């Protein structure tokens, strides 16, 4: 029997995006009414309908096998899918009603909401970020490279950035508040630039934090550049300003 297409009960839902992180819609689930479905983001039109059809086919298959909707969701997280049609697992959350998800699909800033939703409401983590930022000195921002040169036997060794403990503390604190997230597919975007005014819109701060911290894994010195050119300071200032405005 197919899943029911509506429910008056609270639902769980997960975001679906394309490879650029553009929100296409939401898959929702409710075990009480054995209900599940797709809410497309109207602004994405036919492309959202096409991506939704892929997931609805998988839901129909799960229903035919008599899986509970949330069991079907667990299967979907493991499903083979196109690079351009992604379930953002970290976005899984609850809504008081299906209508709330439908209203979310009509919001023009769905991508920003997705990223800001990854930030933690953990006072200790935000306090650590503020303290780590305050402890950073100009010397910490000027990263020296070490280890380069010819080694015994004629081997040429590539250098590496020698990050200070205060700078590493700050990078860990940025991650600690949730600003480094798989919800942003940073590798499909240009590296953010230093803003003229010294601050970024909050969601852009998450994008920049993710790009810098994840980028370091692929290219040594990404954090060094951000620390030296002011981007890291802008990220931190923007995140702290956002938290101050939302935690009152």
The answer to whether the CB of 76 falls within 8 A of the CB of 89 is no
Using CA atoms, how far apart are residues 48 and 23, in angstroms rounded to an integer?
Answer: 9
Using CA atoms, how far apart are residues 189 and 197, in angstroms rounded to an integer?
Answer: 22
Mapped onto helix, strand or coil, the DSSP state of residue 216 is: helix
The answer to whether residue 5 scores a pLDDT higher than 80 is: yes
Using CA atoms, how far apart are residues 50 and 29, in angstroms rounded to an integer?
Answer: 20
Using CA atoms, how far apart are residues 142 and 152, in angstroms rounded to an integer?
Answer: 29
Residue 144 burial by Cβ neighbours in a 10 Å radius (0-12, 13-18, 19+)? exposed
Mean pLDDT of 139-149: 90
User: 12 — phi, psi (to 5°)?
Assistant: -100, 145
Using CA atoms, how far apart are residues 58 and 55, in angstroms rounded to an integer?
Answer: 5
Q: How confident is the model at residue 82 (pLDDT cuts 50, 70, 90)?
A: low
> Where do the structural domains in the chain lie, given as residue ranges?
11-108, 123-246
pLDDT at 198: 84
User: What does the pLDDT look like over 14-46, one tens digit per residue?
Assistant: 999 998 899 999 999 999 999 999 999 988 888
Token pair 């929702």 is at which residue?
Answer: 28
Q: How confident is the model at residue 189 (pLDDT cuts 50, 70, 90)?
A: confident
pLDDT at 248: 64
228, HSE (Cβ side, Cα atoms, 13 Å): 10
Average pLDDT, the chain: 93
Pairing of the two strands 35-40 and 86-95:
unpaired
Mean pLDDT of 130-134: 98
The answer to whether residue 83 scores a pLDDT higher than 70 is: no
């Amino acid at each position: 029997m197919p899943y029911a297409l509506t429910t008056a009960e609270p639902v769980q839902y997960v975001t679906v995006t394309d490879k650029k992180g553009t929100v296409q819609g939401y898959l929702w689930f409710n075990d009480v009414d054995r209900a599940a479905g797709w809410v497309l983001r109207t602004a994405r039109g036919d492309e959202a309908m096409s991506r939704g059809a892929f997931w609805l086919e998988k839901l129909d298959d799960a229903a035919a096998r008599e899986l509970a909707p949330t069991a079907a969701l667990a299967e979907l997280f493991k499903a083979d899918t196109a690079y351009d049609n992604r379930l953002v697992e970290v976005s899984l959350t609850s809504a008081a009603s299906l209508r709330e998800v439908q209203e979310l699909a009509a919001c023009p800033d769905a991508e920003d909401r997705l990223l800001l939703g990854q930030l933690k409401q953990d006072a200790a983590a935000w306090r650590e970020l503020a303290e780590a930022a305050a402890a950073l000195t100009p010397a910490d921002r000027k990263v020296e490279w070490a280890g380069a040169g010819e080694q015994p036997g004629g081997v040429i060794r590539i250098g590496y950035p020698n990050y200070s403990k205060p700078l590493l503390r700050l990078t860990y604190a940025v991650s600690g508040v949730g600003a480094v997230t798989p919800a942003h597919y940073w590798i499909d975007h240009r590296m953010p630039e230093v803003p003229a005014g010294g601050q970024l819109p909050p969601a852009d701060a998450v994008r920049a934090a993710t790009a810098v911290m994840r980028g370091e894994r692929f290219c040594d010195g990404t954090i060094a550049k951000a620390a030296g050119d002011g981007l890291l300071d802008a990220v931190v200032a923007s995140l702290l300003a956002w938290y101050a405005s939302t935690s009152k």
